[in-house]
Amino acid sequence: MPLPSKRVVATMLATTTLLTSLLGACGKTDAPVTAIVPPTAPAPVAKPMFGSFGFDSSGMDRNIAPGDDFFAFANGNWAKTTEIPADRSGINTFSILGERTLADTRAILENAAANKATSGDARRIGDYYTAFMDEAGIEAKGLAPIQPELDAIAALKDKSELARNLGGTLRTDVDILNATNYHTSRLFGLWVTQHMDRPADVAPYLVQGGLGLPDRDFYLDGGRMVDLRKAYQAHIAKLFALAGIADADARAARILALETAIARVHASAEDTSDVKKGANYWPQASFTSKAPGLEWSEFFAGAGLSAQPEFIVWQPAAVRGIAKLVAAQPLQTWKDYLAFHALDRAATFLPKAFADESFAFYGTTLNGTPQQQDRWKRAVNNTNSALGELVGKLYVESHFTPATKARANEMVANLVAAFGKRIDAIDWMAPETKAAARAKLATLKVGMGYPDKWRDFSALEIRPDDAYGNAERAGLFAYQQQIAKLGKPMDHDEWYMLPQDVNALNIPLENRLIFPAAILQAPFFDAAADDAVNYGAIGAVIGHEITHSFDSSGALFDGNGRLANWWTPDDLKKFEAAGAALAAQYDAYHPFPDAAINGKLTLAENIADVAGLATAHDAYQMSLNGQAAPVLDGFSGDQRFYLGWAQAWRGKAREQALRNSLHTNGHAPPQFRSETVRNQDAWYNAFEVKPGQQRYLAPEQRVKVW
């Protein structure tokens, strides 16, 4: 998927924000339907993008039995013959489609940049892109754009001024429910969204931060992490040297020691994903006594939050530990820390030596990527990061049709209906729990393609000759827009993804799903493809996102997004037992002989895969209206369904990136996500999977969740 920066912000399907008058209001499913929606009359379409019915059968390895390794059976030849692009740490269906979307978006931005007569939003995105592409201008300015910030840091006189400066770095660029984004290089992160207990209110969630490496494990573990820490320290020193700051090596050593101390007080990724541990309500007045060491009044003043009466503190032990370190560590160490992270965040907007050094560490050393992306790709990603909804308006005009939106909404309705039937069919669940689950399903809302309302960027200054300034102003503008929501009623129409994102999203606090326009393309969705393939691919994606409202985290929230227990004690025990069995199943997968998947960390996503795929299969069967599915190219309907699922999870990664993901990513690697078929009875029948084959599970071992 296209990444706006080296750090990902979203609660997502993958490793987990126009023309409203033209295309109509965003589709919502306000209640589950009781029957499958009949398909609209299809418009004439071209042949499928892949194969004769929408599946790339040339990518299969038929020498491998599906019951031994379904991923390799469906994708083995693709995996053998596909090279990871030099500018990527891995390749998968999301990144392939993302490259296509990048090229589409590039055309939009270059047209806006070339058309000097335009004004307003088109001029804004054109100028942002132009400024980033102006390598000569960036080189000529040197460190001048960031020098005022470095000077302000150097001038800090005491811990009171330090606290205000730290508060000024606060940004709303984190998502605590996304396992790939637990850390932030700023001391703390802020997430502004619906209150966990008062759904009508907006709340600020304060989360742990302070790390430059992806997770606490990178500071505390042995093995390869030791070498990564040495490389990180060298990277810190190199940036200081490039900036002409003396004693670079000594400063780097102090910064690594400080971040290691921060890592020691951090909550683990598993604990952070435990919603019940995050509901800690702290009045602002209590911070001084609950977390002494940081002058909180100055911090909140610097953050523009002095008037905010209460915060939800997600990792209280980390907040206490970090505040204590502010007091304990010398002021100069903190000034060095702030200066480094200012340079580190700015590197991509500074002269080439800084951008190259940033890529050398974060791209090559950390993730094994040998080649930096072309400048235009970085320009597109950064423009999306700063002004994504403005770009999205134009993207939807050119690349998303009303017919695609209507067809996708039909599939959503069918999947919601199928999930409702699965609730009714559960034999271990008490009637009162079923009724509560049904009530939650009835309040599920779905955004398809693009938002109903678009953000207003008219107050944001963008200049064609100020790449760094544009990024800084855009980041501050986004932050101010977010904190302006505090004290106001919750707005449930805001999107947290972009139409040009190849992904999907469940928002547990709002019981709402979002499917951006860009994911509604082949191989996830192809209007010319066989229904079985579409249900196996985008249908299972939709089912996956529906299930997130009922997974190990989503099941803790009621239909209004309130943290509330709607389970009987016995039902909750049975649900948790199924989750434990699924976690154990994934614990047994070893991408490397010395490294396994963390079943607990990936549990919510694995539940969503198991139940989402089962729901999609039900919906596909219901769509046949009792008729037998045709056999196409020798494949039955059920075989095509499961092959569509497996093709959607094509993927391979460089070793460094894959090893990193085992520590930080709430999603299992793609090849193991595809293997969740072994929990589906219909898969065994479709491919005649027998005892003794490697992926065979006895019926009593197959995990059924929802």
Q: Which domains does the chain have, with CATH numbers?
A: 24-52+418-449+522-701 (3.40.390.10), 156-370 (1.10.1380.10)
If residue 587 lies in a helix (H) or strand (E), which one and from where to where?
helix 569-587
Whether a cis peptide bond, with omega within 30° of 0, leads into 402 is: no
| Phi and psi, residue 290, nearest 5° | -80, -30
pLDDT beyond 80 at 354? yes
What is the C-alpha to C-alpha distance for residues 100 and 111, in angstroms, rounded to an integer?
17
What is the C-alpha to C-alpha distance for residues 322 and 589, in angstroms, rounded to an integer?
35
337 Cβ contact partners less than 8 Å away, ≥ 6 residues apart? 255, 258, 259
The β-bridge partners of 651 are 92
pLDDT beyond 80 at 203? yes
If you search the block for the tokens 């980033």, which residue do you land on? 132
**Coil, helix or strand at residue 447:** strand
pLDDT band at 508 (very low <50, low <70, confident <90, very high): confident
| Rg of the chain over all Cα atoms, to the nearest angstrom | 25
CB 311 within 8 A of CB 205: yes
Cβ atoms within 10 Å, residue 483: 18
If you search the block for the tokens 């025990």, which residue do you land on? 573
| Phi and psi, residue 471, nearest 5° | -65, -45
| Phi and psi, residue 632, nearest 5° | -120, 125
CA-based nearest residue to 211, from 184, 240, 229: 184
CB-based burial, 9-43: b 16+ in 10 Å, e otherwise: bbbbbbbbbbeeeebeebbbbeebeeebeeeeeee
pLDDT beyond 50 at 478? yes
CA-based nearest residue to 542, from 408, 649, 440: 408
Q: What is the pLDDT of residues 579-607, one digit of tens each?
A: 999 999 999 999 999 999 999 999 999 99
Q: DSSP per residue over 252-320, as a string?
A: HHHHHHHHHHHHHHSPPHHHHT-HHHH--EEEGGGHHHHSTTS-HHHHHHHTT-TT--EEEES-HHHHH
Q: Please state the rounded mean pLDDT for residues 312-319.
A: 97
What is the C-alpha to C-alpha distance for residues 601 and 599, in angstroms, rounded to an integer?
6
CA-based nearest residue to 304, from 487, 180, 464: 487
The β-bridge partners of 311 are 282
CA-based nearest residue to 538, from 550, 552, 556, 523: 523
The per-residue pLDDT for 553 is: 86
pLDDT band at 7 (very low <50, low <70, confident <90, very high): very low
pLDDT beyond 90 at 180? no
357 Cβ contact partners less than 8 Å away, ≥ 6 residues apart? 235, 238, 239, 242, 347
User: What percent of the chain is helix, strand and coil (3-state, nearest 5)?
Assistant: 55, 5, 40
CB-based burial, 462-482: b 16+ in 10 Å, e otherwise: bebebbbbbbbbbbebbbebb
**Coil, helix or strand at residue 620:** helix
CA-based nearest residue to 672, from 599, 618, 622, 579: 599
201 DSSP 8-state letter:
B
Q: Please state the rounded mean pLDDT for residues 450-460.
A: 95
| Phi and psi, residue 272, nearest 5° | -65, -35
Cβ atoms within 10 Å, residue 148: 9
What is the C-alpha to C-alpha distance for residues 40 and 318, in angstroms, rounded to an integer?
53
What is the C-alpha to C-alpha distance for residues 651 and 670, in angstroms, rounded to an integer?
6
Strands 445-449 and 505-507: unpaired
Q: Please state the rounded mean pLDDT for residues 128-144.
A: 98
For the chain, give the percent of residues with pLDDT over 90.
Answer: 86
452 DSSP 8-state letter:
S
The per-residue pLDDT for 178 is: 52
CB 1 within 8 A of CB 98: yes
Q: What dihedral do alpha carbons 326, 327, 332, 334 form, nearest 10°?
A: 0
What is the C-alpha to C-alpha distance for residues 313 and 206, in angstroms, rounded to an integer?
5
What is the C-alpha to C-alpha distance for residues 397 and 110, in angstroms, rounded to an integer?
16
pLDDT beyond 80 at 635? yes
pLDDT band at 429 (very low <50, low <70, confident <90, very high): very high
Q: What is the pLDDT of residues 292-313, one digit of tens each?
A: 999 999 999 999 999 999 999 9
What is the C-alpha to C-alpha distance for residues 665 and 584, in angstroms, rounded to an integer?
17
If you search the block for the tokens 């598993």, which residue do you land on? 270
Model-level pTM greater than 0.75? yes
Burial of 200 (0-12, 13-18, 19+ CB in 10 A): exposed
Strands 310-313 and 512-516: unpaired
pLDDT beyond 60 at 159? yes
pLDDT band at 179 (very low <50, low <70, confident <90, very high): very low
User: Could you give the angle at the alpha carbon of 688 between the alpha carbons of 685 and 689, nearest 5°?
Assistant: 100
Check residues 271 and 332 and name the one with the higher pLDDT. 332
The β-bridge partners of 191 are 205
pLDDT beyond 80 at 702? yes
| Phi and psi, residue 503, nearest 5° | -170, -175
Q: What is the mean pLDDT of the chain?
A: 91
**Which stretches of 134-283 are DSSP H helices?**
135-141, 147-154, 159-168, 217-220, 224-242, 248-265, 269-272, 275-278
Output the six-digit token pair for 575: 């649900």
What is the C-alpha to C-alpha distance for residues 258 and 166, in angstroms, rounded to an integer?
15
Return the beta strands (E) in 328-485 as ranges. 445-449
Output the six-digit token pair for 244: 């002409």
Chain mean position to CA 146? 29
What is the C-alpha to C-alpha distance for residues 673 and 694, in angstroms, rounded to an integer?
16
**Coil, helix or strand at residue 448:** strand
User: Could you give the angle at the alpha carbon of 149 between the alpha carbons of 143 and 154, nearest 5°?
Assistant: 105
